[in-house]
Amino acid sequence: MDFQLTEEHLMIQKAARDFAVNELLPGVIERDEKQQYPAEQIKKLGELGFLGMMVDPKYGGAGLDTVSYVLAMEEISKIDASTSVCMSVNNSLVCWGLETFGTEEQKQKYLVPLAKGEITGAFLLSEPEAGSDATSQRTKAEDKGDHYLVNGTKNWITNGSSASVYLLIAQTYPEKGSKGINALIVEKNSPGITVGAKENKMGIRGSDTHSIMFQDVKVPKENRIGEDGFGFKFAMKTLAGGRIGIASQALGIASGAYELAVKYARERKAFGKEISQHQAIQFKLADMATRIEASRLLCLKAAREKDLHQDYTLSGSMAKVFSSETAMWVTTEAVQVHGGYGYVKEYHVERLMRDAKITQIYEGTSEVQRIVIGRSILS
């Protein structure tokens, strides 16, 4: 597989890096402490085309490939994973889902403003009692002829309060299991929707994670995505690409921590020499670099397969489980390389370590990725 980056890829990578350093780095510690949503920064990301990167320009997107998206996600995540999760949800769950399976009317009405970054979207699958076991959800979308009547609660929703548009996965025919589920486009300001309090999280504290309650919410029939009962497949197909986004987020968190560790190891002296000259520290850096490179190749492979319209479900899950476990390991070691300084906020690595953990949980836990990989091997 050809991993040669083009001039255009390098330009996008640089634009994302410049944005991260100039726009995200200055307030990142404060936003983390105050759990502040990066509203201004997300608006600017949208203006630069980073919220609809892979969407066709005729729908307001940047028309770029998935490799560009991986490169941009890595650069943004090196500095601010709270911002990159908003970017990932909007690009690879909401925009991709709408562009791939939406009707022309749905695309004109919802995809265009989402891809231009004028508004953002959220993806509502998880529930208080249905996370990994996504088919066992209880939120109901009753068929009432010209509309669906939605009742239930969705949990842990990224962009829950900031989004204007929700892609909701809900049960219409409980007796049909995964084939009785529908995907609906729901406007956040619809009567009957209540946004719960913001979750007080370990990491990605700037991102807005909320429960969303639905009480007798009417959703017009024309807002259903795909055929009746397509909702679970819609969710699974969309998440297959979303996992490339989160894998790239994990890659960025790991490479951000690694770069800080290398810089610090060259500056800090102990026992008369730079700590980078102690072999124990050198070996840590060597292992970090090796695991990060393997993560990057897995992310690029999955992205390339998606761009070539090949099946990327397996490689996406491999990229996600490997990169997220790499992120957790690398960030923990980066704190170790920093010694006591790694344990305080000014040095950034403690935040990256807290941010890394979520990549092993959302968009399918590491265990779920292994289920997907295992089934693929044995099928």
Residues annotated as catalytic (active site), given as ranges:
363
Q: Is the dihedral of CA 325, 331, 332, 336 positive or negative?
A: positive
Q: Which string of x and - marks every residue 62-91 that binds ligand FAD (by CB under 6 A)?
A: ---------------------------x--
In angstroms and rounded to an integer, the radius of gyration of the C-alpha atoms of the chain is 21
Give me 197's structure tokens: 């309090």
Nearer to ligand CAA among residue 177 and residue 339 (C-beta): 177
Instruction: Choose the contact partner of 367 out of ligand CAA, ligand FAD, none; CB within 5 to 8 A by kind.
Output: ligand FAD
Which residue in 50, 59, 96, 156 binds ligand FAD (CB under 6 A)?
A: 156
Among all residues, whose Cβ is closest to ligand CAA?
A: 362
Q: Does 125 bind ligand CAA (CB under 6 A)?
A: yes
**Structure-token pair, residue 32:** 């983390």
Binding to ligand FAD (CB under 6 A) within 115-144 occurs at 122-126, 131-133
Are 243 and 320 contacting, i.e. CB atoms less than 8 angstroms apart? Answer: yes
Residues contacting ligand FAD: total by CB under 6 A? 23
358 binds ligand FAD (CB under 6 A): yes
Residue 48, both tokens: 């630069």
307-336 footprint of ligand CAA as x/- string (CB under 6 A)? ------x-----------------------
For ligand FAD, give the closer residue by CB, 65 or 80. 80
85 binds ligand CAA, rule: CB under 6 A:
yes
Phi, psi (deg, nearest 5) at residue 211:
-85, 150
Within residues 88-117, the interface with ligand FAD by CB under 6 A covers 89
Can you tell me the distance from the alpha carbon of 244 to that of 239, in angstroms, rounded to the nearest whole number? 9
Measured CA to CA, the distance from residue 210 to residue 226 in angstroms comes to 27
Considering the rule CB under 6 A, would residue 258 count as an interface residue with ligand FAD?
Answer: no
Residue 217 in 3-state DSSP? strand
Tokens of 327: 């992120």
165 binds, among ligand FAD, ligand CAA, none (CB under 5 to 8 A by kind): none
Is the Cβ–Cβ distance between 317 and 375 less than 8 Å?
A: no
94 lies in the binding site for ligand CAA (CB under 6 A)? no
Q: Is 110 left (phi over 0), alpha (psi -120 to 50) or beta?
A: alpha
Chain centroid offset of residue 56 CA: 20
Candidate list 19, 69, 110, 123; residue touching ligand CAA; CB under 6 A: 123
**Closest separation in Å from C-beta 262 to ligand CAA:** 29
CA distances for 309 relative to 66, 236, 241, 312, 328, angstroms: 11, 17, 12, 8, 31
From 84, 139, 158, 369, residue interacting with ligand FAD (rule: CB under 6 A): 158
Tokens of 27: 């307030």
Residues of this chain that bind ligand CAA (CB under 6 A): 85, 89, 123, 125-126, 132, 134-135, 158, 178, 232-233, 236-237, 239-240, 313, 362-364, 368, 371-372
